[in-house]
A and B are shown apart, each in its own frame.
Chain A
Amino acid sequence: MKSYQLIPFLPLAAFVINILLGKRIIKDKAHWIAVPAVLASWVISVFTLFDVIGGKVFNEDLYTWIISDGFIVSVGFLVDQLTAVMLIVVTTVSSLVHIYSVGYMHGDKGYYRFFSYLSLFTFSMLMLVMANNFLQLYFGWEAVGLCSYFLIGFWYEKKSASDAGKKAFIVNRFGDFGFGLGVIMIFLTFGTIHYEPVFNAVNGIVGQSINILGYDISLVTLIALLLFCGAVGKSAQIPLHVWLPDAMEGPTPVSALIHAATMVTAGVFMVARCNPIFNLSHVAMNVVAVTGAVTALFAATIALVQNDIKRIIAYSTISQLGYMFLACGVGAYAAGIFHLYTHAFFKALLFLGAGSVMHAMAGELDIQKMGGLKKYMPWTYWTFLLASLSIAGIPGFAGFFSKDEILWQAYASGPLGKIVWFLGAVTALLTAFYSFRIVFVAFHGKFRGTHEQEHHLHESPKVMTLPLAILAIGAIISGWVGIPPLIGEFLGIEHSDKFGAFLAPVVGHPHAEGTHGEEIFVMLLSILFAVGGIITAFFMYIKRPEIPVQLGESMKTAYRVLWNKYYVDELYHLIIVRPTFWVAQSVIVGVTDGKIIEGIVNGVPRAIGGFSEILRRVQTGFAHHYAAVMALGLLIIMIFLIL
């Protein structure tokens, strides 16, 4: 076994140990199993990254999983540049979240269970990113979904938590429905579902089409769109975004790890991984770009008015994931993955910061009941501020580089690119605004909670603030490996976009067409929007706090629509949930099974002269009666046939 193959299995071992022995033996020492395992995975991942930087690419099968006719699937690992980046992201954030959870989950009665699930999640996510074929990807895909289900519903006694977990799983199944069919289409088209042969052969199917309900649809477009269905579910894009805000019912470290930094980015990873397929379909690419851009703006508008700190950040996550898809859709996969990587740091930091606040305020989520937390929790405040500057896109911070790269690549990719760029740019303004709305409302001003809460306000323990500090460093410097050449030249750094160059062997180079002037314009505009958003938030929530109230009253309808998240949940309830239950209850139980089939079954014997009555009487006896009837029947038939 090569060392990189241990990366996923160490957390798996930790899971097995904790889940079997946690309840009786390990108990509140569960982190002594889970944390070393994930740290070891992190160390190996770092070494693996250097191997890959040194030019190695691993693609090896462990064993053959399924053999059925030509359907032969292995469990195996592909570690190339893309996977190496994902390994670092996953193991880094997972390690920090593990450590943070030691403090955050301290004293919870499900302590060992929590760490078991974290380990299982880490294993699943690593299997997902290391897969060398689509079915193993699907395995990881569903397994992370399962862990998400476990962890969202971690406090399962709460109805809302168990509802949210169930919802996440089922909504994801809608996406996986398409994803699964996509995998099947790939197999039937290529005769294999291993990445390498599929991606090598994919050029050969250009121009082929398939007839569906009388329409000819390009095969490659169909495959790409089916795969994208899965991504839409997992990465919470319109129209399957509804599960992610509810997922905030889970413990906050989970939100940071699964619902911000890693699992929800699996869709982006998958699209980038399948870039040889997506590249061949303009239609699919445009769908990806538009879905991403629309989702980015849509979620950002909802985030403007929410008061639940975790939900704001959740909508922000949906929005940022939209950016990543936007990038993939215009062919700038490297930029999408770059944003995935920077986002992992600042978004995990935002969530963990929110968790730190909740920890201090006995679980309070409403930012209107916070205020002035800056002086009570300096570490939390400053790290949260850095993360907010990063997500807002202030130059120098990680978020600036990745977001700017996406917007520029979109702008430079053609006419549709201009449209999605515009949506993305507006989103940037909103992002800066709502991010700093949290900062100003929760951390500045006067404390608005109860006296009891105020009395208990405290900075979180070191085991929690240390991960915050490390992530804050990441939120600043992680972007420095992808400085656009424009700034690189200005600063005198050669080959400043190391990230893009590193990923190029997997995802290629985007073909941006634009002048330096345009690039400067796009960049200055994003900076302007970022600063403008922050200043607006400052003005509205620090200087003139009466404005938001007036605004809400003057635009009541708009406010209500945003507050109710465009009523999407209500719509789904009306058009999917209720009709299904109606069919189940009223049509099937009430009519088809209940009246028609049962009517015939019970009615026929009755109609022919109380046959059932006779049989019932026969059956009050025992086996010999029955045997006699059977023998008689057999005899009659035999006689009948022989004669």
Chain B
Amino acid sequence: MAKKHDYVQIHRIVLEPDARADTIPEDTHSVPLEMWVKGYLNEESAKIGDEVTITTRTGRQVKGVLVDEAPHYTHSFGNLVPELLRVGDQVRGILFGEESGEGAK
């Protein structure tokens, strides 16, 4: 449950499929244009899925459905991509000789 002034994220549909531009590809035209915005909750309290209003960091009032409380980032450096190790070993091997490119196969 989010309380007034909590930092939250909302979602809203900007354009339904039938209101979208005519010139876009079919796959994009078949789905709505969606928007996600973060800001401080205006209501006394709200739960995920409620229609709410927020005040964004620039002071705009935006309506939408509450989708996240205390939103945070989870992006990372991803899983190991072993090919990159091989690239590094290879270029060192070519330039500085076999020893420096020990792992290169």
Instruction: Check if A and B associate.
Output: no
Seen from chain A, the residues whose Cβ lies within 8 Å of a Cβ on chain B are none
B-to-A contact residues, CB < 8 Å? none
